[in-house]
């Protein structure tokens, strides 16, 4: 019985790990290294993490945070579920499809990056950036060469 429970536990964990990387050509180790070496003007890299649905990284400045999340490409349309989404249509930027969402105390940029093979979400917490400022963050973290 214990072997059966262990088998199912391993199978479920493996399936979740495969789903998290489905459609992404970047491993977690590569993402972590990439974010550690990225510069977001005025912010310091704090941490990265691997979650069930992708990878995250945080950059902090006092009580402000910029988060970068990488998800499978198929998850791009999650922008429709974001707080502050007002029906904005995707637009093109350097060959990638982007959507800017302006919330009440945060802002997000959803990026469908064909070169990375993933959806990248850049979000501010406890402050807001306009669309141009978030596009600049995307370029600063190295997405400009990966669009």
pLDDT, position 12:
32
Question: ∠128-55-124 over CA atoms, to 5°?
Answer: 5
- The domain locations on the chain are 2-145
Name the strand (E) or helix (H) holding 138. helix 131-140
Q: How much of the chain, in percent, has pLDDT values that exceed 70?
A: 82
Nearest to 139 by CA among 88, 98, 82, 84: 98
- Of 61, 65, 55, 34, the residue nearest 140 (C-alpha): 34
Which segment of 12-21, 28-37, 78-87, 113-122 scores lowest on mean pLDDT? 12-21
Question: Could you report the per-residue pLDDT of 94-121, keeping only the tens digit for each?
Answer: 889 999 999 888 999 999 988 888 999 9
Decide: 77 and 29 in contact? Cβ < 8 Å: no
- The highest-level CATH class for domain 2-145 is alpha beta
Q: Has residue 13 got a pLDDT over 90?
A: no
pLDDT of residue 38: 93
Split at pLDDT 50, 70, 90, the class of 23 is low
For the cut 50, the answer to whether the pLDDT of residue 6 exceeds it is: no
């Amino acid at each position: 019985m214990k072997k059966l429970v262990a088998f199912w536990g391993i199978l479920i964990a493996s399936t979740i790990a495969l789903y998290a990387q489905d459609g992404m050509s970047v491993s977690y180790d590569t993402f972590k290294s990439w974010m550690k070496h990225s510069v977001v003007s005025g912010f310091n890299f704090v941490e990265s993490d691997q979650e069930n649905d992708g990878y995250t990284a945080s950059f902090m400045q006092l009580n402000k945070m910029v988060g970068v999340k990488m998800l499978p490409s198929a998850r791009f349309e999650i922008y429709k579920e974001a707080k502050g989404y007002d029906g904005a249509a995707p637009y093109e930027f350097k060959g990638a499809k982007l959507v800017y969402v302006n919330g009440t105390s945060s802002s997000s940029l959803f990026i469908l990056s064909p070169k990375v093979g993933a959806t990248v979400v850049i979000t501010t917490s406890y402050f807001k950036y306009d669309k141009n400022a978030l596009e600049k963050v995307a370029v600063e973290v190295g997405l400009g060469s990966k669009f």
